[in-house]
Amino acid sequence: MRTLVILTLLAVLVMAATCYESHESMESHEYLNPFLNRRRANDFIQADTRLRAITQERIRERSKASHEHQRELCEDYYPCEMYAFRHGYAAAYKHYFGRRRTK
């Protein structure tokens, strides 16, 4: 019986030590209102990073790879596009536009 009382007291002490809320946790604004205001929802994102991402995307659009230009050129010319469906865009471009000679 005596060990049961000691174990119960020990369990109460452990529970009180681990479940105690300090004054510091009560100071947090998230404790009272965990949701952000609509106006402040995106304040943590810097405007510079968004603009930088947009400009990098525009640069990537302007500087396409050569095979993308070849594919677009082939898609604009109907016989080349039909040839590409059977043999692939690389072969179609080579067949229709690869033999060009400059004079």
In tens, the pLDDT along 50-62 reads: 777 788 887 777 7
Cβ contact 74:80 at 8 Å? yes
* pLDDT over 70 at 33, yes or no: no
Where along the chain do its domains lie?
A: 65-102
Give the pLDDT of residue 29: 56
Give the pLDDT of residue 44: 65
Q: Minimal CA–CA distance to 95: which of 103, 83, 85? A: 83
pLDDT at site 46: 62
How far apart CA 47 and CA 49 sit, in angstroms, is 6
Residue 79 has pLDDT above 80, yes or no: yes
Distance CA 14, CA 42 (A): 42
Question: Within the chain, where are the H helices?
Answer: 2-18, 23-27, 29-32, 47-62, 66-76, 78-87, 89-97
Supply the pLDDT for residue 30: 59
pLDDT at 22: 62
